Amino acid sequence: MAKDQKSDFSCLTNDKPNSVVDAPCKKTCKVTYRFVFRTSLSMPYAVAVNGKVLSAFKDRPKRTDDKIPLVVDAGQSVALYLNSDAHPAYRQHPVYEVMVGDDDVEIVITEVAGKQTFTDAPEAGKATKDASTGRTVQHMTAKLTGDIWMKVSHKYAPSEVEAMLPPQTSPEVTSAVKSIYAGLNTPALQIHQPPLGEQAARALTIKFIDSDNPKQNITTYNLLKDGLPRVHPGGYAALFNAALEHGIETLRVTSCWRPMLGSIAHRAGLGLDVDYVGTTPMNRQELRLGKAKDTPNVSDDEVRLFKEYEDATVADKKADAELVAATKAASAPGLSAEQSRQAQQRKTAAEKDKDKTSRTQDKAQGAWDKERNANEPPKVRLFRASLLQCLCVSQLFDPWFMDANTKDAQEPEPNLQRPLPAGRKGLSNEELHAHHLHVTVYEPKILQG
């Protein structure tokens, strides 16, 4: 046994051959947490046993979209750290704690909407026998409410801010971001930046718009005291730096922290939405909805060219499917000479058609790209470029482009506002971001991957 490895138990032995020595072992039990979220979600979590976080979560939390299976000793207590509170440096609010007896335990945690007053304490239910193991399972239930979401969402302090800001953030921006966590008096913020080198003095006004979601699902909530301070400081700084760099005078931030809507990024305080950059509304729904959603960002020519590109894409996919089928038919075993000749003719025709549709699609895409780019406001393009280069940003989605991973070498993809496949309910990520810009803050100790 290695010197630093402890034995599971110790006992006295003797020198009698074939003798038996009792070696008491602790009984182990299965503990399973099951989450029932209202929408698809992946929750950061860490596990504590007897008040101590397990070594597997020492550096960062894990993620679950359904269940957390554990094995612990009888007599131990188990609790969870969730959401941004699962960050190794926070972990201030353990929730859903259970004391394990001699039986296995299953805790079903159901997310519930509305202003609920449930606590996170699990309630005991019926016990059942597991037919496969013969063991008794103690069933428990608990709720995940807006109040509990707020409890497990880290509220940043002014003292934490500077270490989380991008490099070269100016003193003016640093001071402005700190003021958010000190507590704003109004949902607005102004930054005045003096001349920097050849750059003239600049000013930026930020307006924060509250969302209905936290107001509808938390018993006591205030945007300035409870909402804005639960967003990672790097997100605010990224937006403010990019705006000031390019002389953008106003930003409207529409979604900050919220508990029960959208991606885990917003719920974990790592998401920020902007619907106006300067005087430009971040909206391109007209691309698919036409004049019913008229915006200055989409021209009539772009709507036409986009339709031509979509039609060309459909034709190219159809040609691709025919080429695959023709190639398979030409290589089928047991063909007669005549069947082989006909199959080869079909394959040749399919290859020519595929070449034609591919060229048509490329040409249509080029025409659409050119018209789209011609109508994009230059300051919006520059604003996005700065955000994509910011070390604090891991994702950027907006009406023009989508980048799910700013850390890779892939260029952002155009936002085609494609709907979900038939049979799936809801809106696609592209549709959701057809009317605002979203950034996700890079914080691998909360959300990794």
Using the 3D structure, point to which of 104, 135, 151 is the last residue of a domain: 151
Is residue 191 included in any domain, yes or no? Answer: yes
Mean pLDDT in each 10-residue stretch from start to end of the chain (449 residues)? 48 63 76 96 97 97 97 97 98 98 97 97 94 92 98 98 96 98 98 88 97 96 98 98 97 95 95 98 95 90 97 97 96 94 96 97 98 96 98 97 96 96 91 97 91
Is residue 22 included in any domain, yes or no? Answer: no
Same domain, 121 and 164: no
102 vs 129: CA distance, rounded Å:
13
Instruction: Give the chain's largest Cα–Cα span.
Output: 96
pLDDT value for 15: 66
The count of C-alpha atoms lying within 13 angstroms of the C-alpha of 441, restricted to the half-sphere facing its C-beta, is 28
Task: Give the pTM.
Answer: 0.90
Same domain, 388 and 429: yes
Same domain, 243 and 337: no
> Do residues 206 and 188 touch, judged by C-beta distance below 8 A?
yes
CATH of the domain at 74: 2.60.40.10
pLDDT value for 291: 85
Q: To which H or E segment does residue 429 belong? A: helix 429-432
Same domain, 358 and 236: no
Is residue 17 included in any domain, yes or no? Answer: no
Same domain, 347 and 407: no
347 vs 329: CA distance, rounded Å:
8
Q: Are strands 136-144 and 401-403 parallel, antiparallel or unpaired?
A: unpaired
Same domain, 228 and 273: yes
Q: Are strands 188-193 and 202-208 parallel, antiparallel or unpaired?
A: antiparallel
Using the 3D structure, point to which of 89, 117, 151 is the last residue of a domain: 151
Query: What residue has token string 């188990």?
Result: 78
Is residue 34 included in any domain, yes or no? Answer: yes
Is residue 425 included in any domain, yes or no? Answer: yes
Is residue 86 included in any domain, yes or no? Answer: yes
pLDDT value for 8: 45
Same domain, 141 and 73: yes
Same domain, 192 and 114: no
Same domain, 222 and 135: no
pLDDT value for 11: 54
> Do residues 140 and 97 touch, judged by C-beta distance below 8 A?
no
Is residue 23 included in any domain, yes or no? Answer: no
Same domain, 133 and 280: no
> Do residues 415 and 436 touch, judged by C-beta distance below 8 A?
no
184 vs 179: CA distance, rounded Å:
6
Same domain, 392 and 259: yes
Using the 3D structure, point to which of 331, 348, 375 is the last residue of a domain: 375
- The backbone torsions φ and ψ at residue 237, rounded to the nearest 5 degrees and listed phi first, read -60, -40
How many structural domains is the chain composed of? 3
Same domain, 169 and 124: no
Is residue 187 included in any domain, yes or no? Answer: yes
Q: Which domain holds residue 127?
A: 28-151
